[in-house]
Structure formats: C-alpha cells, structure tokens
Amino acid sequence: MTIHYTMRMFAVAVALFFGGLLTHADAQVPGVGGGTFGGEVRGVTQLKGTVVCVGCTLEEAQGAQPQMRHLYQLVHARGQLVMAVQEVNRSAMWEVWPHRLSIRTPNHLFQQLTAEANLFKSVELLGLLSRGGRTFDLFQVTIAEG
C-alpha cells in the first residue's frame, strides 16, 4: 500500500468515527432531538470540482464566468474562494445546498486549496457537511496532478 492510500483510509476512518459520535438515536425521529455538539452531520461528503477564484465573492465569479454552473462560495476564517462543483457523492442532496458555505479546516489545508498554482485544477474535497447544510468540515484536499 502507498502512503497516500494509507493516509486517505485513515482520514476516512477518522471521519466515520467522529460522524458516528456526532449522530445519535435522536436522528431516528425526524424533527425531534436535542442536537449534538457542532450540529448533526450527514456522513462523509466528497466534492469534486475546480477553484475558480480566491478572495472573490460568488457574485463576482458569476459575473466573470456566466457560463459556469454550480458555483459555491466557501468562507473560511482566513478568506474565501469560489468553487465550481462538478460532482458530489451525495448528488441528490447537493442541489439544494445554499451557494455560500462556511468551511472549517486547518489553515494548511485552506492554504493548499487557495494556492494560486492550484487554480482551475481538478480538486477533490472530503469532509462532513452539517445537517443544516451551511458548514463543511474539511479534512482532506487532493489536487489532481498536471
């Protein structure tokens, strides 16, 4: 096994572990329950797309790239970016997301995602989306080579 594969499987295992901790029996009865620390999550979410601009707003990106569809603004404590999303592993769910998401992730992952050298490259993000669909806890960024 390669180190990349091992690290990826470890990240997925950690996400599943914490996802299991964050969801509980209250989720069995819709609309009932006391919530959890940090909000309930839906499980591991995988986004595939490209970063189209860093430091811009959703409106600016839409104005500059009117032909692009499925643009989402990701807002972090260190800045913001707009991403064109092509695929989500939970495709039935992502069409109703708000087009502005708060993103929580370590600074080094946000820096990797916003690096100028990675603009318009294929990007894969793994994380946990809150049940309200407004916060994405990002734990892995993979940039396609080339």
pTM of the model: 0.69
Which residues are bridge partners to 47 per DSSP? 88, 125
Q: Where are the beta strands (DSSP E) in 1-145?
A: 41-54, 71-76, 79-88, 100-104, 122-130, 135-143
pLDDT interval class at 25 (50, 70, 90)? very low
Proportion of the chain above pLDDT 90, given as a percent:
51
Dihedral angle of Cα 65, 70, 76, 79, to the nearest 10 degrees: 0
Each residue of 26-41: pLDDT tens digit?
333 223 333 334 444 4
How far is 16 from 126, CA to CA, in rounded Å?
12
Residue in this structure with the two tokens 């669909």, named with its chain if needed: 133
